[in-house]
Structure 1
Amino acid sequence: MNEFKKKDNLWCSDANSYGELIRNIGFILETGKKQAVSAVNQAMVRTYWEIGKYIVEYEQAGNAKAEYGSETLKRLSRDLTDRYGNGFGMSNINKMRKLYSTYPILQTVSAKLSWSHYVELLKIEDPLERSFYLKECEQENWGVRELRRQMKSMLFQRLALSKDKTEVIRLSTEGQVIEKAEDILKDPYVFEFIGLPELPVYKEGDLENALINNLSQFLLELGKGFTYVGRQQKINIGGRIYKVDLVFYHRILKCFVLIDLKRGEVQHEDIGQMNLYLNYFREEMNTEGDTEPIGIVLGAYEDKLMVKYATQNISNQLFVSRYQFYLPDKEQFEQEVRRFWGGE
């Protein structure tokens, strides 16, 4: 009997060792695949940059503003396609030329970004805006899909609206820097990914469910540093139960972030209730090392004058912002940014 037990133990030990062996090999394979993909992407971007350099300096005699449909580019596209196959259409040839024209110093081309990233970035004419998205891709490891979404939601313009020109330049060179509560705010928040129409009959719970069902996209919209804690978090004050819609923890600011969702316009009672939640979290939920909690009341509409008076003399970090279910109109938003800066 003891012999059987000994064999069983050996078999279990072997099985555990073998399972660990499989996991280790799997980890090495996945790491190797990622490194291989990264190496291919780096080589592709560098190759296309060098092709662009030849086009600008040799074929176009250094004229980086040569017309897209020039005969030289047309001929080059045909000849390269005949010799080397697909990938040298007029559109791609022009993107290679634009890559070099935009980043004439090779060292400024990020090794972390793929050619597909640069295809999107080269669509942006404003150098400050383009630099911002490049930095965010590097720092936050955005894939191409995340980059496209953030560009369409006009993240740069939404963040820039709350900053002066010096801060906007810093935003473009460093990406989004989180140092204080105001740095995590957006106005408006864009929830185009949840699938709720603009002005239907829907409950606040429907909005909350839709956001949690699309948590990865919701976190992308909230921005860097957010970690999901829970929903409908119960707090007991004097025997009465209250529920906070959404609770997050911000890793950079080291604090709880409470979000209350309102279907229509934010009322002064909503602000008072959030102030109650913040006081409770500061006294009852914070532990050593935590900083002051942040509260955000999100509504479809807001009366700015009411918000001003309702938040006056509140010492807590309490903010009111709007959300919308559609992507911003680019031209309209850019006009708003220009008006904001022009008024300085």
Structure 2
Amino acid sequence: MNELQTPDNQLLGQIAEIIQQARQQVRQTVNSAMVQSYWEIGRLIVEHEQQGEERAKYGKYLLQNLSERLTEMFGKGFDIRNLRNMRQFYLTFPIRNTLCSELSWSHYRRLMQIENDQARQWYLKETLEQNWSVRALDRQISVLYYERLLSSQNKALVEQEAVEKTEPLKETIQDYLRDPYILDFLNLQDKTYQESGVEQAIIGNLQQFLLELGKGFAFVERQKRIRFDDEDFYIDLVFYNFKLKCFLLIDLKIGKLKHQDIGQMDTYVRLYDEQFKGEDDNPTIGLVLCSEQSEAIAKYSVLADRKQIFSAKYLPYLPTELELQKQVEMARRLVDIS
């Protein structure tokens, strides 16, 4: 009986795979058709409004009338709000052949809420490259991923971005590291916690942490042991970035960043490069993730070189827009003094 089950299971698996692929293709086809049709509806509404000033005046009545009649003909999905979204869809993405079949209508609705054109295009590109779900895209926008990325650039590039707003972001090591990191999904707020507790919470929420960590990262190991002169050292978390082709060592610290924290990470990076880095790997990166930054240490330590050792602040909760703005300004000051 067992001999018959193996080929039966294999056949079942092959058939199931075909069905799943077919359903995925159907979903993609339906999604693409929906996005294209909503864009066309938006185009027709805008062009109808632009036929004269008088038409623009009764735009609200037009949408109300369209909503009622389309709902009567085709059912749900054509309320005034959705028609406004279709209209805005066309205005935001006026070139039809730039639409991406991989993105859903929900993706586009979230992207339309971004006022900055360059930021919107950047989030669209990252969504495609990283295969972000709508929920993942919403989180990255909410925690100002793009704005924090800008703050990690050197001063000249930030100023250039502010003036031109057309040049694509040049990707460097700093582009893959953020400051601050938003760890609200760890539920650390209003709790007394230790470094080991933060580490355990990260491991328990690894998928969310990888999303917050950024693109190209994969988890390697926790409490990685390295040995030197009969002495053992333990690195909290080790990741690998397939785009940068290098390891990332993370050391978690509670409280304000200290000189010995940077010295310790410098030792970790040197030992890791010597013992574990492959011939094809780039130099290892060290990141001290602390609950409070220090401008003085950023200025008078190896952090000023901004080559392999970095520090960043983590926040146990999603801050307000004003608090995030202050964090961005802090990050820029750290860039200026380095």
TM-score, length of structure 1 as denominator length: 0.87
Q: CA deviation at 1:82?
A: 2.0
The 1-side partners of 2:271 and 2:70 are apart by 68
Q: Deviations over 1:188-224 (max 9, x none)?
A: 11111111105x4211111111111111110011111
Alignment of 1:197 with 2:189, yes or no, is yes
User: Structure 2 counterpart of 1:243, which letter?
Assistant: Y
User: Structure 1 counterpart of 2:39, which letter?
Assistant: W
The 2-side partners of 1:338 and 1:300 are apart by 17
Cα pair distance change 1:170/1:195, threshold 3 Å: farther
Cα pair distance change 1:173/1:29, threshold 3 Å: farther
Aligned equivalent of 2:71:
81
Q: CA deviation at 1:236?
A: 1.5
Q: CA deviation at 1:25?
A: 1.4
Aligned equivalent of 1:273:
264
Q: CA deviation at 1:307?
A: 2.6
Q: Deviations over 1:104-140 (max 9, x none)?
A: 1101111110001111111111111111111111111
Alignment of 1:207 with 2:207, yes or no, is no
Q: Deviations over 1:219-275 (max 9, x none)?
A: 011111111001111112111111100001111111110000111111111111101
Alignment of 1:132 with 2:145, yes or no, is no
Q: Deviations over 1:35-85 (max 9, x none)?
A: 11111110000010011111111255378x958972222222222222221
**Contact persistence 2:303–2:309 (CA under 8 A):** no
The 2-side partners of 1:335 and 1:278 are apart by 30
User: Structure 2 counterpart of 1:161, which letter?
Assistant: S
Aligned equivalent of 2:47:
57
Aligned equivalent of 1:323:
314
User: Structure 1 counterpart of 2:176, which letter?
Assistant: I
Q: CA deviation at 1:23?
A: 1.6
**Contact persistence 1:274–1:297 (CA under 8 A):** yes
**Contact persistence 2:297–2:303 (CA under 8 A):** no
Q: Which secondary structure does the structure 1 equivalent of 2:309 belong to?
A: strand
What is the correspondence of 1:303-342 to structure 2 with a 5 Å cutoff? 303-311=294-302, 317-330=308-321, 333=324
The 2-side partners of 1:227 and 1:321 are apart by 19
What is the correspondence of 1:14-93 to structure 2 with a 5 Å cutoff? 14-61=4-51, 70-93=60-83
**Contact persistence 1:231–1:246 (CA under 8 A):** yes
The 2-side partners of 1:80 and 1:140 are apart by 36
Q: Which secondary structure does the structure 2 equivalent of 1:70 belong to?
A: helix
TM-score, length of structure 2 as denominator length: 0.88
Question: Any unmatched runs of 5+ in structure 1?
Answer: 1-7
Cα pair distance change 1:316/1:104, threshold 3 Å: closer
Which is greater in Rg? 1
Cα pair distance change 1:239/1:338, threshold 3 Å: closer
Q: Deviations over 1:253-302 (max 9, x none)?
A: 11110000111111111111101101101111112211110000011101
Cα pair distance change 1:333/1:52, threshold 3 Å: same
Question: Any unmatched runs of 5+ in structure 2?
Answer: none
Alignment of 1:238 with 2:229, yes or no, is yes
The 2-side partners of 1:19 and 1:197 are apart by 48
The 2-side partners of 1:58 and 1:335 are apart by 45
Q: Percent identity between the aligned chains?
A: 40
**Contact persistence 1:56–1:62 (CA under 8 A):** no
The 2-side partners of 1:226 and 1:113 are apart by 23
The 1-side partners of 2:58 and 2:258 are apart by 54
The 2-side partners of 1:29 and 1:238 are apart by 58
2:134 to 141, 144, 166: 144
The 1-side partners of 2:202 and 2:287 are apart by 15
Q: Which secondary structure does the structure 1 equivalent of 2:7 belong to?
A: helix
**Contact persistence 1:45–1:114 (CA under 8 A):** yes
What is the correspondence of 1:157-306 to structure 2 with a 5 Å cutoff? 157-163=147-153, 164-166=158-160, 178=171, 180-197=172-189, 200-306=191-297
The 2-side partners of 1:173 and 1:297 are apart by 31
The 1-side partners of 2:245 and 2:174 are apart by 14
Aligned equivalent of 1:4:
none
Q: CA deviation at 1:144?
A: 0.5
**Contact persistence 1:278–1:316 (CA under 8 A):** no
Q: CA deviation at 1:330?
A: 2.8
**Contact persistence 1:299–1:321 (CA under 8 A):** yes
The 2-side partners of 1:170 and 1:217 are apart by 34
Aligned residue pair count: 328
Q: Which secondary structure does the structure 1 equivalent of 2:227 belong to?
A: strand
